Structure 1
Amino acid sequence: MALSLISLSNPCSFSRLLPSLLPSPTAPARRNAHMAMKITCSLSTHMLETTINRRSANYSKSVGDYDFIQSLKSDYTVHMYERQIEKMKEDVRRLLKRVDQPLAQLKLIDTLQRLGVGYHFKNEFKEALGNISTDESSMRMEGDLYATALRFGLLRQHGFEVSPDVFNGFMDEKGNLVASLCEDIEGMLSLYEASYLGFEGEIVLDEAKAFTIRYLKDFKEKKLDQDLKRRVEHALELPFHWRMPRLQARWYIETYVGEKDMNPFLFQFAKLDYNMGQATYQTNIKAVSR
């Protein structure tokens, strides 16, 4: 785009008026004749052509125009799968009641949350975690870093009081986390996630965060199990409870398929729930667009 600028040159010129050209002044006025001036203004203009090259981001055309949004459709509308999803939710509730071992309950709750279906079972989670928080057998998990960190993290996520002193059993005489913990990758990942649930002044959790981040970064550079490395890289980007639930659910559903203890029923349930959610979002955005 060419921007034309107007330049002013010699805007005004001043000249003295010779006394001979003045009318016959009186004596007092004659003394001030040299002060008389004639002011003439002259304006000359010329155009200065300046080309300014403006930057462009080269934006591509948006695919989300009206016609595209109205063309969205899904085979997973709520009315088509409502009965099936309700039946599957009841099956999960029965599964939660049937699992009676504290660690198995914790793993199941954690899996359901990561699959993005935990919002269906908030009351069941509260009940199970309430029992775990007062169960003496669940408190004696000091020898298992993974179990201890998982219990601590889930209780804090759901508003239960739990002290970071549960990690004292994993520290040496100087108050540092013992180096042997590095052999337990699952435990280190669980401790890393739990450390982000610490309150201000909880030094144990601050040290645990620094320790696990340093170790997990080193582990990421090693040529080991690719699925585990993928989980480590994902966790180091952001801890689980800082992420957007639906985006996290999609990532974990794809990851869950490759896990050794994958439950096919939970996998199918999570996929159906996710697709039904997407269908609802599409219906809403079409209505808003109209």
Structure 2
Amino acid sequence: MYEKGNFKESLCEDAQGLLALYEASYMRVEGEKVLDDALELTKTHLAIIAKDPSCDSLLRTQIQEALKQPLRKRLPRLEAVRYIPIYQQDVSHNEVLLKLAKSDFNVLQSMHKEELSQICK
């Protein structure tokens, strides 16, 4: 049987899980009390974790970005250019996926430049 206090403590020790719950809580619809509570809980604890000097700098960056604006409220293409360097620093990153993301971004950027050039002519 789970005890509310122990659940909170174990969740707060898992900063990545807390960050995932924070992002997921933005998928709520009006009146979802559990997700409203989850949002408040995660905001508070993530802010505390981000201020902790022993917090991993990569994690701190992710938390600070999320607290400024959650993923759901960001423009996907702008988020890609912001996230690629963060993902690159992650020791468990997938090199092929990273190359694909960079190539995709560069190709799309080239297309936009070409379209803009055509419009300006």
* Same structural fold, with TM-score higher than 0.5 when normalized by the shorter chain: yes
Question: Which residue is equivalent to 1:255?
Answer: 86
The amino acid across from 2:37 in the alignment is E
SS at match of 2:89: coil
| Match 2:4 to one of 172, 181, 187 | 172
Question: Which residue is equivalent to 2:67?
Answer: 236
Question: Which residue is equivalent to 1:117?
Answer: none
SS at match of 1:257: helix
SS at match of 1:201: coil
Percent of aligned positions with the same letter in both sequences? Answer: 35
Pair 1:258–1:243, CA change in 2 (3 A): same
The answer as to 2:18 corresponding to 1:188 is: yes
Spell out the pairing of 1:125-136 with structure 2 (5 A cutoff). Answer: none
Pair 1:195–1:170, CA change in 2 (3 A): farther
Pair 1:171–1:289, CA change in 2 (3 A): farther
The amino acid across from 1:206 in the alignment is D
Deviation at 1:267, TM superposition (A): 0.6
Computing the radius of gyration from Cα coordinates, the structure with the larger value is: 1
SS at match of 2:72: helix
1:143-199 residue CA offsets vs partner (Å, 9 max, x unmatched) = xxxxxxxxxxxxxxxxxxxxxxxxxx97729xxx62321100010000000000011
Spell out the pairing of 1:209-220 with structure 2 (5 A cutoff). Answer: 209-220=39-50
SS at match of 1:200: coil
- How many residue pairs were aligned? 119
Q: Residues 191 and 208 of structure 1 are in contact (CA less than 8 Å); yes or no, is this contact kept in structure 2? A: yes
Spell out the pairing of 1:1-290 with structure 2 (5 A cutoff). Answer: 172=4, 178-223=8-53, 224-290=55-121
Pair 1:170–1:178, CA change in 2 (3 A): farther
The amino acid across from 1:172 in the alignment is K
Tell me the TM-score normalized by structure 1.
Answer: 0.39
Deviation at 1:201, TM superposition (A): 1.2
Deviation at 1:288, TM superposition (A): 1.1
- For structure 2, which runs of at least 5 residues remain unmatched after alignment? none
- For structure 1, which runs of at least 5 residues remain unmatched after alignment? 1-168
The amino acid across from 1:220 in the alignment is A
Pair 1:171–1:197, CA change in 2 (3 A): farther
Q: Residues 170 and 178 of structure 1 are in contact (CA less than 8 Å); yes or no, is this contact kept in structure 2? A: no
SS at match of 2:4: coil
Q: Equivalents in 2 of 1:185, 1:221: separation in Å?
A: 13
Q: Residues 193 and 239 of structure 1 are in contact (CA less than 8 Å); yes or no, is this contact kept in structure 2? A: yes
Q: Residues 192 and 209 of structure 1 are in contact (CA less than 8 Å); yes or no, is this contact kept in structure 2? A: yes
Deviation at 1:249, TM superposition (A): 0.3
Tell me the TM-score normalized by structure 2.
Answer: 0.92
1:190-220 residue CA offsets vs partner (Å, 9 max, x unmatched) = 0000000011111000000000000011111
Report the structure, 1 or 2, having the larger strand content. Answer: 1
Q: Equivalents in 1 of 2:104, 2:74: separation in Å?
A: 19
Pair 1:221–1:170, CA change in 2 (3 A): farther
